[in-house]
Amino acid sequence: NAGVTQTPKFQVLKTGQSMTLQCAQDMNHNSMYWYRQDPGMGLRLIYYSASEGTTDKGEVPNGYNVSRLNKREFSLRLESAAPSQTSVYFCASSEQGAEEAFFGQGTRLTVV
Amino acid sequence: QQPVQSPQAVILREGEDAVINCSSSKALYSVHWYRQKHGEAPVFLMILLKGGEQKGHDKISASFNEKKQQSSLYLTASQLSYSGTYFCGTESNYQLIWGAGTKLIIKP
């Protein structure tokens, strides 16, 4: 029972490089989310997708883009990485809106 | 606007009780509670809906006072497994706005 799967688990990027974080869920959930978590802080919403075919900005969207490829997959792209984007990134999904959310194991990203 | 959690951290001996508070300056429709262990993803504990409800989950329970715009999480007879950071989340436009967390350390 996979739940929410994120790849990669760890990544080091140089400033200016680009990369895509992948997320897939197998629970047939409608809503998917990308969060970042900085040391000692709570989760901040980057982008979310309330349903297949829709995406919306969250609290901290600058420097990121997302694609809801299908109902299962929601990817996060950093076009030109900056040191300020060093963080742990979590993908999550829920049946609808603000219901119980299931999280992936996170991606620890370091930008040097 | 981010909900405010208190205390920021608490250290307990195994078997002691703890209360974690979450308050908001905005009207609340629901409050969500999650626990995150170090290096892991947050895990859902419970959702409380407006109407002043209380919920229980083993020895972890919570209350929600919508008039006071606050929720409290109660951990009774704490166990070592309760250690972690507890987050509350409040609903806004179908999104969750998360508090900064309360770190709970349980010592044997």
pLDDT digits (tens, 9 = 90+) for B64-76: 888 888 999 999 9
Which two three-digit tokens encode residue A37?
A: 């978590």
- C-alpha triplet A5, B55, A104: angle, nearest 5°: 5
- A87-91, B10-14, B88-92: least confidently modelled range: B88-92
Q: What is the predicted pLDDT for the residue at B95?
A: 77
Q: Is pLDDT of A80 > 70?
A: yes
Q: What is the predicted pLDDT for the residue at B52?
A: 60
Q: What is the predicted pLDDT for the residue at A104?
A: 96
Cα–Cα dist A96/B96, whole Å: 12
Of A42, A48, A99, nearest to B98 by CB-CB distance is: A42
Phi-psi region of A3 (alpha: psi -120 to 50; beta: other; left: phi over 0): left
Please give the average per-residue pLDDT across B22-40, as a whole number: 91
Which residues from B are below 8 Å from A when comparing CB atoms?
2, 30, 32, 34, 40-44, 47, 87, 89, 91, 94-101
Q: How many CB atoms lie within 10 A of CB A41?
A: 13
Q: How many CB atoms lie within 10 A of CB B9?
A: 10
Considering Cα of A39, then B38, then A31, then A1, what sign does the dihedral take?
positive
CB neighbours of B84 closer than 8 A, spacing ≥ 6? B35, B36, B37, B38, B103, B104
Contact yes or no for B32 and A98 at CB 8 A? yes
Please give the average per-residue pLDDT across A7-17, as a whole number: 97
User: What are the angstrom distances between the C-alpha of A78 and each of A37, A71, B100, B102?
Assistant: 16, 21, 25, 30
Secondary structure class of B83 (helix, strand, coil): coil
SS3 content of chain A, % helix, strand, coil (to 5): 5, 50, 45
Secondary structure class of A84 (helix, strand, coil): helix
Q: What is the predicted pLDDT for the residue at B56?
A: 67
What is the percent of chain B where pLDDT is above 90?
Answer: 63
Contact yes or no for B94 and A98 at CB 8 A? yes
Q: Is pLDDT of B55 > 70?
A: no
Considering Cα of A103, then A104, then A108, then A109, what sign does the dihedral take?
negative
To which residue do tokens 């600058």 refer?
A62
Which two three-digit tokens encode residue A79?
A: 């076009």
Please give the average per-residue pLDDT across A62-75, as a whole number: 96
Q: Looking at chain A, which residue has its C-alpha nearest residue B8?
A: A40
